[in-house]
């Protein structure tokens, strides 16, 4: 489906938009790309981000309203345990406080998830002295329902998820399952009352095929790779994600926030650039897909730009696939 799209912040490179509406205003929590000069490799070393900015929409229409950059909300130097690479973040509000969740490599080059707390949606945020206990991998998403907060996370390859099974680091190092075995997938756990830790052991976000079998590792145009997002539409829970090396955004539908979810289709076909990442939010009675591509940098993978377009549901709750290339 061809859909009109908008570059949201063409004056700087930003990616991985997590979008939330607080008190009627739309806020965008992106990664902040820059020309790091680090060569591309299979671990994504070139994505060496060092701070976060929060953008806000100054109006009611994501396609036309002005966007404001609220400045640096959190930076690497302020995080005691920081190594490198501040990747996709997300936020939640509880009792008037804002909790920013961010994955970053620690001083041993292992991805952990940090939490930083602020009084306003645009920050600034003050980081906790340590990462969340037992946290690992990347790409966070927080979903709130009835006062319970669920943290989704995970990403394979550079996101290091293949180094873990059952929340424990593998003695053998890094292992992806064989092609005919169930794929690795995102993890989900409720957050503690103080929002700073897992309240329970993270469990896998199981994605089933049309026969009720978990998607396999070799099914790389459908299996989870990274960039999970959870939203609710018409009483159903939609888990959407990137397939990484096949460059698709796909989704699966379930009956509760833990799943299992059943694979339903593609949301976005490949964009310009290797990575694809998104969030889905309802704003002013319409549903919106926020994502990124490398169109403005003429295809430089680690210099990405934020985009938005409208998302359409069919009567049966499935989503119209959007063409990632057309304007
Ligand atoms: O921005 C760094 C990484 O690239 C993200 O964590 C992935 O989802 C991909 O967009």
Provide the CATH number for the domain around residue 63: 2.115.10.20
18 lines ligand 1 (CB under 6 A): no
- For residue 100, list its beta bridge partners: 91, 116
pTM, 2 dp: 0.98
| Model pLDDT, residue 256 | 98
Domain-embedded: residue 156: yes
277 lines ligand 1 (CB under 6 A): yes
| Model pLDDT, residue 255 | 98
For residues 109 and 112, give the distance between their C-alpha atoms in angstroms, rounded to a whole number.
9
48 lines ligand 1 (CB under 6 A): no
Q: How many domains does the chain have?
A: 1
Domain-embedded: residue 255: yes
- Please give the structure tokens belonging to residue 203: 């469990």
For residues 292 and 32, give the distance between their C-alpha atoms in angstroms, rounded to a whole number.
12
Domain-embedded: residue 5: no
Mean pLDDT of successive 10-residue segments in the chain (327 residues)? 94 98 98 94 94 98 98 98 98 98 98 98 98 98 98 98 97 89 98 98 98 98 98 98 98 98 98 98 98 97 97 98 89
Domain-embedded: residue 209: yes
| Model pLDDT, residue 70 | 98
The 3-state DSSP class for residue 327 equals coil
| Model pLDDT, residue 297 | 97
Distance 47 CA to ligand 1 centre (A): 8
Domain-embedded: residue 7: no
For residues 109 and 13, give the distance between their C-alpha atoms in angstroms, rounded to a whole number.
24
Domain-embedded: residue 274: no
Domain-embedded: residue 295: no
Which is nearest to 140 in space by CA: 129, 150, 148, 127?
150
| Model pLDDT, residue 171 | 85
Domain-embedded: residue 3: no
| Model pLDDT, residue 317 | 98
Which positions are catalytic? 16, 226
| Model pLDDT, residue 3 | 93
Q: What is the dihedral of CA 83, 160, 225, 5, to 10 degrees?
A: 10
Q: Which domain holds residue 169?
A: 18-268
47 lines ligand 1 (CB under 6 A): yes
User: How wide is the angle at C-alpha 183 spanned by C-alphas 274 and 139, nearest 5°?
Assistant: 50
- DSSP β-ladder status, 90-94 and 97-106: antiparallel
The CA distances from residue 77 to 115, 132, 174, 282, in Å, are 15, 18, 29, 35
Distance 17 CA to ligand 1 centre (A): 10
| Model pLDDT, residue 327 | 65
């Amino acid at each position: 489906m061809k859909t009109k799209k908008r570059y949201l912040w063409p004056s700087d490179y930003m990616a991985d938009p997590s979008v939330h509406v607080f008190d009627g205003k739309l806020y965008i929590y992106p990664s902040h790309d820059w020309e790091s000069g680090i060569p591309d490799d299979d671990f994504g070393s070139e994505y060496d981000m060092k701070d976060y900015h929060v953008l806000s929409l100054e109006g009611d229409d994501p396609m036309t309203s002005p966007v404001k950059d609220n400045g640096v909300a959190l930076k690497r130097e302020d995080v005691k345990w920081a190594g490198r690479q501040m990747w996709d973040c997300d936020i939640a509000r509880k009792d008037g406080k804002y909790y920013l969740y961010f994955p970053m490599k620690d001083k041993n080059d292992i991805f952990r998830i940090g939490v930083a707390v602020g009084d306003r949606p645009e920050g600034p945020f003050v980081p906790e002295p340590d990462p969340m206990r037992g946290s690992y991998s990347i790409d966070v998403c927080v979903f709130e329902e009835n006062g319970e907060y669920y943290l989704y996370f995970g990403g394979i390859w550079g996101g290091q998820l293949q180094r873990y099974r059952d929340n424990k680091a593998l003695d053998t190092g890094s292992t992806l399952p064989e092609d005919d075995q169930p794929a690795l997938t995102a993890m989900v756990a409720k957050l503690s009352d103080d929002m700073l830790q897992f309240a329970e052991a993270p469990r896998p976000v199981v994605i089933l095929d049309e026969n009720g079998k978990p998607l396999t590792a070799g099914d790389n145009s459908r299996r989870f790779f990274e960039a999970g997002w959870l939203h609710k539409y018409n009483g159903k829970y939609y888990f959407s994600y990137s397939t990484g090396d096949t460059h698709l955004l796909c989704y699966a539908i379930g009956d509760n926030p833990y799943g299992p979810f059943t694979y339903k289709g593609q949301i976005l076909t490949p964009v310009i650039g290797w990575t694809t990442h998104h969030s889905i939010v309802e704003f002013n009675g319409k549903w919106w897909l926020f994502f990124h591509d490398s169109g403005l940098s003429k295809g430089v993978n680690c210099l990405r730009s934020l985009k938005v377009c409208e998302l359409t549901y069919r009567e049966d709750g499935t989503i119209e696939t959007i063409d990632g290339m057309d304007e």
